[in-house]
Amino acid sequence: MSDLDTLLTENRSFPPSEHFRHQALVRDDALHREAERDYEAFWARHARELEWMVPFTDTLDWTPPHARWFHGGRLNVSVNCIDRWVRGPHRNKAAIVWEGEPGDSRVLTYWDLYREVQKFANVLKSLGVRRGDRVGIYLPLIPEAAIAMLACARIGAIHSVVFGGFSPESLRDRMNDAEAKVLITADGGYRRGQVTALKRNADKALEDAPTVKHVVVVQRRPGGMGDESFAQMREGRDHWWHRLMQSAKAECPPEAMDAEDVLFILYTSGTTGKPKGIVHTTGGYLTGVAATTKYVFDLKDDDVFWCTADVGWITGHSYLVYGPLANGTTCVMYEGAPDWPERNRFWEICEKYGVSVFYTAPTAIRAFMKWGEQHPARHDLSRLRLLGTVGEPINPEAWIWYHKVIGGLRCPIVDTWWQTETGAIVISPLPGLTSTKPGSATQPLPGFFATLLDSKANEIGVGGGLLALTRPWPSMLRTIWGDDDRYVQTYFTKWADRPDLYFPGDGAKRDDDGFFWIMGRVDDVLNVAGHRIGTMEVESALVEHPAVAEAAVVGKSHELKGQSIAAFVTLRDGYHQSPALRDELREFVAEKIGAIARPDDVLFSADLPKTRSGKIMRRLLRDIAEGRTLGDTTTLADPSVVASLKDQYEAEES
Ligand code: 7RM
C-alpha cells in the first residue's frame, strides 16, 4: 500500500479521556463559535490579554494581500514575556530549564531572565544597536539565544536567527540580505560530543558581510577564552559576551513598539535558490503564538513544557521562546542530540525535569521507534500528559507508537500543521475536545480559516486539493524582507482574481468529518527530517562545483527523514564519474548550505530528461529515484536518456 492509501484507510479515532477532558482548558466548541461569529472580535479579545502600553484602536485593516493588525496599539514583547510575570507570584518560577549536551545544566527564573535580558539589551545599545536595526544570532541551543532574542525585542531591534547548522555562506547571505549590524555567536556548541565551530564559521561569513560591525561571542567551551582554534578574537570587532555583561546595567526601559513594527526576520526555503526573509511583526505575532500555545498545549501553571526544536527554526521561535514565555510557562531547552551519549537521552531529560507536555517532530519519533522501546522503558514518563508533533506528516504507525510507548496510552497527541509564514499553529486538534485520527492534523483552530480548493478556486468538500487559508490571521507574515513582490507572487497569486486567498504550498485531503490530512508540498520545496530545503538551492550549490554542468534535485521517500535528497548530475567535459566524485559533491553541498542539505544520492548521467521545450522532467526523475514504473515519457525530447538513467540507478541500488 502507498502512504496515501494507508492514510485513506486510517479510520481509528481517539477521543480525549474523561480524565483529560475534565481538566482541559477547552472542552466544548464555545471558542470556535465565538471566532466564527466575529473573528476580528475573537482576536481582539486575545490581543487584550497581552499588556499594551497604548491600546489599539482598530483590530484589522485588510487590503489583500496586506494585513495590518491592532493598529494604533503599542507594546513590547519582552515586557509581555518577562516583566508581567516578575511583578506577580511567578517572579521566582523557572522560565528556562536548560541542559547542555555534556550534562551541564542551568535554571533561569523569570527574575533571572528579567535581569539578563535588560543587561544584554544595554550591551546591544552600547554597540550602537538602535530601534529597527538588524541583529544576527548564530548560536547553539543555549539560554543566551533566548536572552539575545528578547533583548532585541526590548530595544526594538529586529533579530534574524540563523540555525547553527548552516554554513558560513548561508550565514553570510542572510547577514547581507538583512544588512545586520551585529552578530551574536559562540566559541562552540555541542552536537554528538563534537564541538561545532560557530565562531570560525562566523569569521568566514564576515569576510564578505560589510554591514556587521560587531561580534559578540558567548563562551560556551570551558576555558574557551584564548582557545584560538575555536575563537580568534578580532580587536575592535569581537567582544566576549561575559565581559560586556559584567559592566552592563540591569535596567533597560522597554521600547514602546507599534503593533506592526517588525519583531524578527527568519529565512526559509522557497522555490528559487534564494531563501526568503519571512517578516513577523510585534502585536499580531505575539497574540497568535500566545493564544495557540495556551489552547493547543492546554497549558497550566505547573506544566513543564518541552519543545525540542532549535531556535534556528520557527518552531523554536514560537513554541520554545515567545509562546511559552508569554504564558508564564516553565520550558525545557536541550542543546544536543537525542542519541548522545545514549539513545535514552530525551527520556532521561523528561524524567529528570518532570516534563508534562512534549512537542517534537515525526522524524525524531521514527528514529526512537527504530531504536526500540527499551530506551524509554528505562525512565519514569508518568508526568507526561500531552504530546505534540510538528514539521511533516506523521505516518499512522509512528503516531500509534508515540501514543503507546511514550504517551502510555493516556496522552492525547496534537498533530500541528503550520509554517514559518503562519507564525503560529493553524490546523491542530484541541486536546480536550477533538477526537484525533492518526495522521490527520484535524481542523483549523478557532480564529483560523482553511479550505481545500482545486486550481480554479472551487471548494472541495471531500477529497484531495490545494490547501488555502481564506482569511488573514494576526501572526501571518507581513512581507518578505526587501521583496514585497515576491510576497505577493508566492502566496497570493495561486488563484486568479482571488488575492485574498493565501496559498501555503501544501496539498491536502479532507475526509467526511471535515478533517484535513496534509499530504506535503506541491512545489519544489523538500521536507527533509522536518526541515525545508529548496531543490533550487541544492541545484545552485551543485553547479558551482567545477565538475558539474547541470543538476536536477528531487525528493525521495525516506524511512526516517520523510524525504531525502537525490541529485541527478551531468558532468563537464574532462570530468569522469567516480565514487570519490560522488562523495565530494555530497560534501560540497553540505559545505555550501549546511549538513541538512547533503544529498543522500548523487547520480551521474550523460544527459537529463527534458521536454522538447527544455524543461527538466522532475516527475520522471522522482519516479527513477523512487524505483517506480516510469510515468508518461512521450513528451520527452530524447526518451533513451531516461532508460539509461534508470538502468544505472537500479545497478547502483543493488
Ligand atoms: C512548523 C514548520 C512548513 C511545512 C508545511 C508542511 C510541513 C508542517 C506539518 C506539516 C504535515 C504537519 N514550519 N508541515 N507541519 N505537514 N503535517 N503537522 O515546520 O516552514 O519549516 O515548514 O512543513 O509542508 O508547508 S516550516
Ligand 1 centroid to 392 CA: how many Å? Answer: 5
Ligand 1 centroid to 504 CA: how many Å? Answer: 10
Is 375 inside any structural domain?
A: yes
Contact 520, 393 (CB under 8 A): yes
Both 245 and 376 in a single domain? yes
Closest CA to 581 of 563, 604, 564, 612: 604
Is 515 inside any structural domain?
A: no
Both 309 and 165 in a single domain? yes
Q: Identify the residue whose C-alpha is closest to ligand 1 atom 3.
A: 419
Is 10 inside any structural domain?
A: no
Question: Residues 6 or more apart from 347 whose CB is under 8 A from it?
Answer: 375, 376, 378, 379, 381
Q: Which pLDDT score is estimated for 451?
A: 98
**Which amino acid, one-letter code, is at 390?**
V
Residue found by looking up cell 547542555 in the block: 100
Closest CA to 629 of 609, 598, 612, 650: 650
Kindly state the percentage of the chain with pLDDT values over 90: 88
**Mean pLDDT, rounded, for 622-644:** 77
Q: Identify the residue whose C-alpha is closest to ligand 1 atom 12.
A: 417
641 pLDDT tier (thresholds 50, 70, 90): confident
Does residue 60 register a pLDDT over 90? yes
Q: Which pLDDT score is estimated for 1?
A: 43
Both 202 and 278 in a single domain? yes
Q: Which pLDDT score is estimated for 402?
A: 98
Both 455 and 529 in a single domain? no
Ligand 1 centroid to 418 CA: how many Å? Answer: 5
We report the CATH number of the domain holding residue 574 as 3.30.300.30
Both 207 and 350 in a single domain? yes
Q: Which pLDDT score is estimated for 77?
A: 99
| Ligand 1 shell residues, CB under 6 Å | 268, 313-315, 390-393, 415-420, 441, 504-506, 518, 520-521, 527, 532
Kindly state the percentage of the chain with pLDDT values over 70: 96
Is 517 inside any structural domain?
A: no
**Mean pLDDT, rounded, for 375-387:** 98
Both 413 and 531 in a single domain? no
Task: Give the residue, out of 166, 426, 506, with the most ligand 1 atoms within 8 A of its beta carbon, to mutate for a pocket test.
Answer: 506
Range of the domain at 573: 525-653
What confidence tens digit (pLDDT) does each residue in 515-538 have?
999 999 999 899 999 899 999 999
Terminal-residue alpha carbon distance, the chain: 23
Both 467 and 529 in a single domain? no
Q: Which pLDDT score is estimated for 256?
A: 98
Q: Identify the residue whose C-alpha is closest to ligand 1 atom 11.
A: 393
What confidence tens digit (pLDDT) does each residue in 226-266 have?
566 677 899 999 999 999 999 999 999 999 999 999 999 99
How far is the CA of 21 from the CAs of 28, 345, 624, in angstroms?
9, 31, 48
Is 503 inside any structural domain?
A: no
Both 475 and 532 in a single domain? no
**Mean pLDDT, rounded, for 456-471:** 96
Q: Which pLDDT score is estimated for 3?
A: 52
Q: Which pLDDT score is estimated for 58?
A: 97
Task: Give the residue, out of 266, 414, 417, with the most ligand 1 atoms within 8 A of its beta carbon, to mutate for a pocket test.
Answer: 417
pLDDT-wise least confident of 8-12, 230-234, 496-500: 8-12
Is 516 inside any structural domain?
A: no
Task: Give the residue, out of 419, 477, 528, 596, with the most ligand 1 atoms within 8 A of its beta carbon, to mutate for a pocket test.
Answer: 419
Ligand 1 centroid to 518 CA: how many Å? Answer: 9
Arithmetic mean of pLDDT over the chain: 94
Q: How many domains does the chain have?
A: 2
Q: Identify the residue whose C-alpha is closest to ligand 1 atom 8.
A: 391
**Grid cell at residue 307:** 519543545
Both 406 and 348 in a single domain? yes
Is 597 inside any structural domain?
A: yes
Task: Among 425, 454, 480, give the residue marking a domain's end.
Answer: 480
Ligand 1 centroid to 444 CA: how many Å? Answer: 14
Angstrom distance (rounded) from CA 613 to CA 633: 14
pLDDT-wise least confident of 120-134, 464-478, 598-612: 598-612
Does residue 8 register a pLDDT over 90? no
Is 5 inside any structural domain?
A: no
The pTM for the full model equals 0.94
Angstrom distance (rounded) from CA 531 to CA 332: 21
Both 532 and 464 in a single domain? no
We report the CATH number of the domain holding residue 67 as 3.40.50.12780
Ligand 1 centroid to 230 CA: how many Å? Answer: 35
Task: Among 448, 480, 512, give the residue marking a domain's end.
Answer: 480
495 SS3 class: coil
Ligand 1 centroid to 317 CA: how many Å? Answer: 15
Any idea what the Cα angle at residue 271 is, between residues 158 and 423, rounded to 5°?
A: 40
**Mean pLDDT, rounded, for 541-555:** 95
What confidence tens digit (pLDDT) does each residue in 261-281 have?
999 999 999 988 899 999 999
355 SS3 class: coil
